[in-house]
Structure 1
Amino acid sequence: MGVTTFSDDFATPILARRLFKALILDAHNLFPKITPLGIKSIDTIQGDGGPGSISQINFVQDGETKYVKHIIDVLDKENMVYAYTLIEGGEVSIEKIESISYEMKFESVANGGCIGKKTSTYHMKEGFEIKEEEFKEHNEKAFGIFKGIEAFLLENPNAYV
């Protein structure tokens, strides 16, 4: 099994704590309410929502991906770090990917916004590798969800304060 890691950073005018609350802690409530994201529901199917818990994100029926399951590896509210592993659905259902691990960290910056740091680690099945173009395609989908949350928070300055 081969392992390939990609890292990227993004800046946002949203405060780090506020973004962490919306994007991580209350995703199960917020994501389905923002229609353009295409998320029907987020359900905890095992555990209490902390490390070791398994969640399933269900997408609207007309989408290419019907659902994804992930296990929460780290949920550090104090340091605003969240890590999880995609174990089923989406890109993992493609025959060459075993799992994808993600780690996100939100750091406050002087201007009041934050920098998000994301690391994606692809665990490939024997004989396969992921190319940067494929990663960029996967990353664009995730970034679309982030941009939807960012737009909601900009339009609703009192939400998640």
Structure 2
Amino acid sequence: MASKVELVVEVKSPAEKLWTAMRESTELFPKIFPEQYKSIETVEGDGKSAGTVRLIKYTEGVPMVTFAKEKVEVADDEKKVVSYSVVDGELVSFYKNFRVTVQVTDKGADGAGAVVNWTMDFDKASDEVPEPDVIKETAAKTFHDLDDYLLKN
């Protein structure tokens, strides 16, 4: 049965700056979130366009997962939207389908701040699989922590 989880996060950073940082996540996230990411590497593609496959290795502190392979399905810099599916790793045993879509928009006309719309579509592999609350909480924390980093740099 298909399920959806949505999250809206408001940040102080301008949409363009936040979007650029997210698009540079392969290099940036292991540097600014060493407690979460051991490494992120591009396995196929250019690292940003649709069709790209990335291998994400998590630290011991991240619950339930050691790695994930994700495939970029949509990458639209003009609309600031990216969508990817998890194609390998522990999450695949919990969820038959697992797709995340992120869109960044300006909060106001003056460019002060942005809104991140994060959506996760998934199908649980079984009824025993817990709701993905940890994933949603981690996403929210990541957006807030990224905003803090960008405001200081």
TM-score (norm 2): 0.86
Equivalent residues, number: 149
Structure 1 position 147, deviation (Å): 2.4
Q: Which residue does 2:151 correspond to in 1?
A: 154
**Alpha-carbon distance between aligned partners in 1 of 2:127 and 2:19, rounded to the nearest angstrom:** 34
**Alpha-carbon distance between aligned partners in 1 of 2:143 and 2:26, rounded to the nearest angstrom:** 14
Q: Which amino acid aligns with 2:83?
A: A
**Alpha-carbon distance between aligned partners in 1 of 2:58 and 2:6, rounded to the nearest angstrom:** 26
User: Alpha carbons of 1:153 and 1:60: their partners in 2 closer, same or farther (altered >3 Å)?
Assistant: same
Query: CA-atom RMSD, angstroms?
Result: 2.0
Structure 1 position 118, deviation (Å): 1.3
Q: Which amino acid aligns with 2:41?
A: D
**Alpha-carbon distance between aligned partners in 1 of 2:33 and 2:15, rounded to the nearest angstrom:** 24
Structure 1 position 42, deviation (Å): 0.8
Is there any run of 5+ residues in structure 2 with no aligned partner, and where? none
Show the 5 A alignment for 1:36-47: 36-47=34-45
Show the 5 A alignment for 1:43-62: 43-49=41-47, 50-61=49-60
TM-score (norm 1): 0.82
**Alpha-carbon distance between aligned partners in 2 of 1:91 and 1:113, rounded to the nearest angstrom:** 32
Q: Which residue does 1:159 correspond to in 2?
A: none
Give identity over the alignment, percent.
Answer: 25
User: Alpha carbons of 1:58 and 1:37: their partners in 2 closer, same or farther (altered >3 Å)?
Assistant: same
Q: Which structure 1 residue ranges, 4+ long, deviate > 6 Å from structure 2?
A: none
